[in-house]
Structure 1
């Protein structure tokens, strides 16, 4: 007579949260390091720079390594390190307001569209109207109405992101509504509002996390382009795009003028892109 013995299943390590696991990869760590370095430089701008960003001197277009000016000076004798650090600070302040604002408005629009077919039609046509304008035309139109400054930059970025987040969440809601667990919850008598908030939204929200990182990258380009064209933040306040725009006439005689903002924008965009790619790969597993 044989006896059957039961063996206990091997203990398995509890899987980590996908976001934490994504940021622990090589891409995630590199992206976070680059973004963190740029953000830290912007936050510590008043401590790292020994000059005000608008302080002028007679020492114009001085090269890197000049005493008191590690990165040199611009055409008006202003310290490039100070303008670069405060430009990072200004850019971070703009995108930190504009992208979350666009995300919230877009998600609220998606929830309104999910509530009724008529609301869905109205919201989708509004999205089509926003997307019909190229980014540059939209920026010029908003600037013509509001005038140059931080407000039109924030408005343009937020408007550009509303359809992106709105349609992304709407698609996620429609996909999740067709899943079996939603049907089972309805059969069990769960209300539609509870199904949406407790079941559908948590499962539809993962792509939004990746999109936030991507949208931050897009926001850096939009702010830089508007400031480069002179329709962004008003001078003499520095932004990365404004410093780069001011350097264009002096590329031949003072190429160092453009190096700082170019390297900073590259590091910030590369860091955000690597972070977004790491999050996207981990979520799709």
Structure 2
């Protein structure tokens, strides 16, 4: 599976995500400005050698805010998606071996999927208040039924294979069969879904911050920078370019990785 990330779409996606992530991690080296510091007399400056993306309406360096915004976006994505994947996978695993748990899990999955992600985000923010915690909960909750149903379907399909039936015939227990024979067969589909979910998580985080229920100001967020840029594009056209390129790059990068992994799985 790792071979597909060394060429073609897989390599392109890995490089795209890697370069953006590295820029976020090296934010302190790439810019001398603090993302929260207001620079005297630097209101909505256009791009220059001093401020590569210009400054915003509150006199803050935009490059600095975009770079530190990358950190926020990736931290939330890499926290929320694995959390949802673990909970969903455990629910799907339990549902595949217990009929009562299966019924309960399916109804919970239906309930979560009944609400569009942003509608659920708005409702949650109204109860708990906006912030990064709300973004993590929304993304994790949205991924639970996705991973739960995928692993349940994969386990039920693999359990019908002849080698699994043979193991059960000779006396192998259910959990031993799952651990030794079934789970190794369903890991690959989960890696593909993980990449797709990370792509969605980047978009959801930006969307929630864009409408004001995500990462709270003055902390930098790609979505909030885009929102602030709308009323100020005439003064600084580069205001929205940085965050838009980053969100697009991360989303495309994770999608390319997912496509490469999915193609390798189908061929394999």
Misfit runs of 4+, over 4 Å: none
The reply to whether residue 207 of structure 1 matches residue 163 of structure 2 is no
Higher helix share: 2
Matched with 2:72 is 90
Give SS of 2:46's match. Answer: coil
Give SS of 2:240's match. Answer: helix
User: What is the correspondence of 1:1-285 to structure 2 with a 5 Å cutoff?
Assistant: 19-57=1-39, 58-67=41-50, 69-285=51-267
Structure with greater Cα Rg = 1
**Cα displacement string for residues 64-112 of structure 1 (whole angstroms, at most 9, x for unaligned residues):** 1153x12210111100110000000111111110000000000010111
Q: TM-score, normalised by structure 2?
A: 0.97
1:173 Cα deviation from its structure 2 partner? 0.5
CA contact (8 A) 1:107 1:166 kept: yes
1:252 Cα deviation from its structure 2 partner? 2.6
> Structure 2 CA distance, aligned partners of 1:48 and 1:24?
28
Q: After superposing the two structures, state which structure 1 stretch, 148-157 or 45-54, moved more.
A: 45-54
**Cα displacement string for residues 11-67 of structure 1 (whole angstroms, at most 9, x for unaligned residues):** xxxxxxxx1121122111111110000110111112212011010122111111153
> Structure 1 CA distance, aligned partners of 2:240 and 2:63?
12
Report the count of equivalent residues.
Answer: 266
Point out where structure 2 has 5 or more consecutive residues left out of the alignment.
none
Give SS of 2:171's match. Answer: coil
> Structure 2 CA distance, aligned partners of 1:101 and 1:171?
20
Give SS of 1:78's match. Answer: coil
Give SS of 1:205's match. Answer: helix
Q: CA RMSD in A?
A: 0.9
Q: TM-score, normalised by structure 1?
A: 0.92
> Structure 1 CA distance, aligned partners of 2:59 and 2:47?
13
Point out where structure 1 has 5 or more consecutive residues left out of the alignment.
1-18
